[in-house]
């Protein structure tokens, strides 16, 4: 069998088993993720286009948001590994052995997210890019030999949302149309497998690893909103990828599955401060066959004087935290959350630091 064909078969086998995106939205705001990722009833800026377009009509005035957000994602393991390199003296055999051991046991995770969006009370527009990669080496792979696993997520595209209050202010509906370039390469290679390593250097093998597939799809959302003088109650329903979002191209990712999700939110507020509690139950019918800990999102957001926000929650079975400073045209965000790349809590976690810089109003 030609090297490139063997490589493609191995790649397809891995990616058909594991779905990187799962039940989460195609794009999530860093502050929302650090606040537990429960964004069906309340989402930050451009996040509402992807979390639930039915959120768009609610807010003061006609204008909602115009700006650009960039977030750098870096794994805690990667940061700790870099610190250990600075502190080690190097040069001796023992240090060399220790270095090799750390390389084989430390996963490297990083990513970059960017979003430019305009939103008013009737519609929203967004161009977005989300790229993550993860490299994890093992001293002993499935066959007992050293192996390395390369995983990545690459989503870029354009989204356009429209929303309206249906008959009464208590009910809103929204739709998001999205045009996507998407890829989820997932490859495991034994370091002694010279044929697979050589295949990575062939045009066919490299193209299959990095080429995104192209497609378009739709999301639909509903929000029930009961507003009080000092408290609000929200109930949300969402359908992601209505009818399934089909993708075409050389990559292995061919379909984003239709999912149904529901969420509840409760807010205590005055004129300038707010405390929002939220709970999302995603992918009710288990289209992606994820365990419950990946489909339940919960958290709280505290907004003080519209310039300081704190968040905390439960994301992928782990605690998460977020801090945001809003200085009118500039917004700075810091978040920490854990993504579980395995099928069980604690099996293959990645604790991630997110640093966001936003300009807009």
- pLDDT, tens digit, 9 for 90 and up, residues 87-104: 765 555 556 666 666 767
CB atoms within 10 A of CB 351: 16
Residue 294 is inside which H or E element, if any?
helix 292-295
What confidence score (pLDDT) does residue 10 get?
Answer: 45
Give, as one character, the DSSP assignment of residue 336: E
* Tokens, residue 71: 């977030």
What confidence score (pLDDT) does residue 251 get?
Answer: 78
Contact 99, 84 (CB under 8 A): no
What confidence score (pLDDT) does residue 95 get?
Answer: 64
In which residue ranges of the chain is pLDDT below 70? 1-20, 88-101, 103, 139-144, 191-210
Domain ranges of the chain: 16-98+114-129+155-181+214-360
Partners of 226 in the β-ladder: 233
Residue with tokens 């439960």: 314
Model-level pTM? 0.87
pLDDT per residue as tens digits for the range 148-205: 888 889 999 999 999 999 778 899 999 999 999 999 888 877 766 666 666 665 665 5
Q: Give Cα separations from 79 to 109, 148, 258, 355 (angstroms).
A: 9, 20, 36, 13
Q: Give Cα separations from 142 to 146, 147, 148, 234 (angstroms).
A: 9, 8, 11, 47
């Amino acid at each position: 069998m030609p090297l490139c064909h063997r490589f493609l078969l191995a790649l397809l086998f891995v990616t058909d088993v594991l779905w990187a995106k799962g039940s989460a939205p195609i794009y999530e705001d860093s502050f929302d993720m650090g606040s537990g990722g429960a964004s069906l009833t309340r989402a930050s800026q451009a996040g509402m286009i992807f979390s639930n377009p039915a959120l768009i009509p609610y807010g003061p005035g006609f204008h909602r948001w115009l700006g650009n957000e960039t977030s750098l994602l870096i794994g805690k393991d990667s940061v700790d590994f870099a610190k250990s390199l600075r502190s080690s003296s190097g040069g001796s055999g023992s240090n060399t052995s220790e270095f090799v051991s750390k390389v084989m046991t430390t996963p490297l995770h990083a990513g970059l997210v960017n979003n430019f969006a305009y939103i008013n009370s009737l519609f929203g527009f967004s161009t977005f890019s989300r790229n993550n990669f993860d490299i994890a080496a093992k001293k002993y792979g499935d066959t007992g030999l050293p192996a390395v696993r390369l995983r990545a997520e690459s989503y870029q595209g354009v989204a356009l949302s429209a929303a309206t209050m249906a008959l009464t202010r208590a009910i809103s509906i929204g739709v998001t149309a999205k045009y996507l370039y998407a890829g989820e390469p997932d490859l495991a290679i034994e370091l002694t497998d010279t044929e697979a390593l050589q295949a990575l250097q062939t045009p066919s093998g490299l193209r299959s690893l990095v080429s995104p597939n192209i497609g378009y799809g739709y999301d639909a959302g509903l929000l029930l909103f009961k507003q009080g003088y000092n408290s609000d109650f929200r109930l949300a329903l969402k359908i992601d990828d209505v009818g399934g979002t089909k993708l075409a191209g050389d990559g292995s990712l061919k379909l984003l599955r239709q999912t149904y999700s529901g969420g509840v939110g409760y807010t205590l507020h005055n004129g300038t401060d707010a405390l929002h509690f939220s709970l999302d139950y995603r992918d009710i019918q288990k289209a992606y066959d994820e365990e419950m800990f990946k489909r339940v999102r919960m958290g709280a957001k505290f907004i003080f004087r519209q310039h300081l926000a704190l968040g905390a929650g439960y994301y992928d079975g782990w605690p998460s935290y977020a801090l945001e400073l809003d200085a009118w045209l500039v917004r700075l965000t810091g978040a920490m959350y854990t993504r579980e790349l395995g099928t069980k809590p604690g099996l293959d976690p990645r604790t991630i630091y997110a640093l966001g810089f936003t300009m807009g109003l």
